[in-house]
Structure 1
Amino acid sequence: MASRLAEKTCTPCRGGVPPLTPVEAEGYRTQAPDWTLMDDATRIERRYRFKDFGEAFAFVVRAGELAEAEGHHPDISFGWGYASVSLRTKKIKGLHENDFIMAAKLDRLADGAAGVEPRRED
């Protein structure tokens, strides 16, 4: 299921749409099972583990490139052997399908799966 989300592209969110309800958010979360619903289902979060600081830093760089390409920007903190990522759609103050699309793409990126290179607009 997560791979299906990872094949989608984030769509621009200009606000004015309601955030996902907790039930809807849980439905998406089942497609990104390593993520946790937080703050009354208004954001999702995951902590990734890596073998050292270099791997964590490399993931953060790739995640930043992916976020720029998708136009959807997570909050990321990292240190030796870990990176924590939090997603929510700030314009609607809650969750949107885009958050789960990014979650699935970040999971693939962390797993080193092919096909998740940030798309570039030429």
Structure 2
Amino acid sequence: MGLKQQACKPCQGGEAPLSLEAAQAMLADVSGWELNREATRLSRHFSFADFVTAQAFALRVGELAEREGHHPVLSYSWGYCDVVFYTHKIGGLHENDFIMAAKVNALS
């Protein structure tokens, strides 16, 4: 089953974040996304024709996040929306972050 078809599972903390190697392997399944240098954040910049379209996209991402119970950092303005995922409870990346990235890709 692909990442997009999976549901986020609640992270209780106490788990180790994904290793750099594991995060890089999962990155291949989420086109357009990037890891930060420490592999603790997963991000993507989305470009749009105007503010209203960027805002509508941010709203759809927010609605998805509420359904899945896993929330990104969103930043949007005229012509763009930046989306960043990480799992606060473990201070790094979890499989849920990649599941959400795949689902966000399906919205774009």
Residue in 2 aligned with 1:22?
A: 20
Give the TM-score normalised by the residue count of structure 1: 0.86
Count of residue pairs the alignment pairs up: 108
| Within-5 A mapping of 1:33-72 | 33-72=31-70
Return the letter of the residue paired with 1:54: V
Letter in 2 for 1:13: C
1:7 to 5, 23, 44: 5
| TM-score w.r.t. length of structure 2 | 0.97
Residues 43-122 of structure 1 aligned to structure 2 (within 5 Å) = 43-110=41-108
Consecutive unaligned residues in structure 1, runs of 5 or more: 111-122
Q: CA RMSD, aligned part only?
A: 1.0
Name the SS of the counterpart of 1:47 in structure 2.
Answer: strand
Q: Which amino acid aligns with 1:12?
A: P
The CA distance in 2 between the partners of 1:20 and 1:105, in whole Å, is: 19
Identity %: 49
Matched residue of 1:20: which SS? coil
Q: CA deviation at 1:4?
A: 1.3
Name stretches of at least 5 consecutive residues in structure 2 with no aligned partner: none
Q: Offset at 1:51?
A: 1.1
Between the aligned partners of 2:37 and 2:12, the Cα distance in structure 1 is 22
SS in 1 for 2:97: helix
How far is the alpha carbon of 1:39 from its aligned partner? 4.0
Q: What amino acid is aligned across from residue 48 of structure 1 in structure 2?
A: F
